[in-house]
Chains A and B, each alone.
Chain A
Amino acid sequence: MRVVWAVAGKEILDLARDRRALILGFLLPVLAVPGLSALVEVGTRRRMESPARVAVVSSGDVRGLLRYADGLLEPVTVPDPEEALRAGRVDAVLSIPGDLEAEAERGTAELVLRYRRGDPDGLLAREKVAQVVARYSLPRVDRTLQSRGLDRGSLVPVRLREEAVPGGVGWTGLALPLFVVVWGFAGASLVAADLTAGEKERGTWDILRSAPASRGSLVAGKFLTCWLAGTVLAALGAASQFVLSEAGPPGWTQVFSLLAAAGSASSVAAACALVVGLLSRSAREANQWALPLYLGALAAAAGAEAVRGWPAASLVPVLNAFLLAQQAAEGRPEAGWGWVTVLSSAVLAAVLLWAAARLVDRE
């Protein structure tokens, strides 16, 4: 074990002195990604709060309707509304009958709204136009009800009162399991590429191999470093996501489960990436080969929802880590699932490390 600690200690010291790795590896999950998430959220909110640009087509006077559009719609005049819609210069085209007031009084008014169904701004425009139409219709509905001795309340026999209480992970918290797996993979595999194929490039690999240390100890020391880097990166990413989410500070079981998920994903990633690094001639080649590993991790994350609740999924490395992180994010981690995740990941990592130790002396 002394050799294992010696290798891990040296690699961690070397990594700690690499400013570029520290900046990229640690500030990225803590600041950059949450910062980007916040920017996306601000952009989305601004888009929702700004009025939709709607081309209004009508032969009559529509001021009565547009009086209710303040803050929701920005009516624009364009020579060819259909072309403007296709080109994205307007979010929607609203066709209003020329005699809207009269038709509305008769209850036969029909407005036509055209929008691009794949355009988020078009979908938002639809919501906003619906609100304007509702506001415009409401006084008439009230008058009609009054004339019949009714009020709005009599149309809704059952009412729903909503009371929001603090809690839940919010939209940001939903991304947490993905970040745990992705950061665990990224941290472990980037470091593994540097500690194996990178050493070959720098000419230190052969002097390391000339040392009278067992191959298993050399691989285990490097594995510890990669695993630690992946776990720390995933934990930092998870912590920053928690801060951004509305869930509040996590409980101890959530923290342990998230660490178990991060450590499990990182152990598989580190062992895979060490094998790939030992088969590669340069760090660049190792990183190219690691790309399918990332995609595999993402595929596991993407498919997780479909197998959620299946007990057998707890035996599939990476997928089980993703689901464990999901349980932790939702505040209901299962201890049994956590143990199976840790053990199955450890078994796979051990098999891969056994293979890696045999690759150290490969020519």
Chain B
Amino acid sequence: MSIQFVEVRKRYGAAEVLRGLSFQVRAGEVAALVGPNGAGKTTTLRVAAALTHPTAGSVRVCGRDVAADPQVARRCVGVVLEQAGVYGRLSGVEILRYFGRLSGLPPGEVRRRTEQLVQWLHMEGFCEKPAGTYSRGMRQRLHLARALLHDPAVLLLDEPTGGLDEGTAAVVRQALRSLAREGRCVLWATHSPAEARQVCDRVLLLRDGRIWREVTAAQFREGDLPEGGEPG
């Protein structure tokens, strides 16, 4: 299993956000995490990315225990966070090269991967400009390229198409499908049932910090959304 959550709990002060969350996502699979606001989608992704420590339970990514060996777990994970910023005075290419070096890639490999991703995500027109001037769509493509730079086996995406125009969203969706075909595991937090049906193989419906239901994308209907607020 690429991602394995077993009875994971996460508490922020008095509030328990994850309450015994258990699920698995296989390599080559795109799984959607869908649930109302506050259901625990973002916390789930942050725990898997070793950005937040679980209060209890076990999280394994690519067979590694995230709590025991977070740095090794991070090597096989690429993350796109919903409200991530950019280094506004650096160009997209400079940001990608920076993260390539942080990932420990040799300089030649950083250059090759950067060129490849810039081409693949259609960033040629803006990648040399300062990232502070980018639109939301450009930033999302930059974040996706950054997450893919070290060729991770697992992708964790928090609303990666949120606020994008349909054309850019289609580019991102298409990119994610082809990544899954290459054998990567994708966990996608989304508020859009249509998008979940279109891109994902499986939908994990999250409510009150637990998996409420699990359905295939083909079976997933609007009526399946858990109660407790707007999906998000």
Contact = CB atoms under 8 A, between A and B. Distances in A.
Given A2-B104, A212-B104, A207 B90 contact: no
A203 B99 CA distance: 16
A3 B51 contact: no
A80 interface: no
Interface residues of B, number: 32
Interface string B31-54: 000000000000000100111110
Contacts of B98: 6, 10
Contacts, number: 72
Contacts of B79: 206-207, 210
A210 B87 contact: no
B14 interface: no
B86 interface: yes
Contact of A203 (B83, B102, B150): B83
Interface stretch (A13-21, A64-72, A310-318): A13-21
B102 A211 contact: yes
B191 interface: no
A13 B90 contact: yes
Contact of B90 (A10, A214, A361): A10
A203 B84 CA distance: 5
A363 B53 contact: yes
Interface in B170-192: none
B133 interface: no
B26 interface: no
A213 interface: yes
A3 B85 contact: no
Nearest to B95: A10
Interface of B: 46, 49-53, 70-72, 74-75, 77, 79, 81, 83-90, 94, 98-99, 101-104, 143, 146, 150
8 contacts: A6-B98, A6-B102, A207-B81, A207-B85, A210-B77, A211-B103, A212-B72, A212-B74
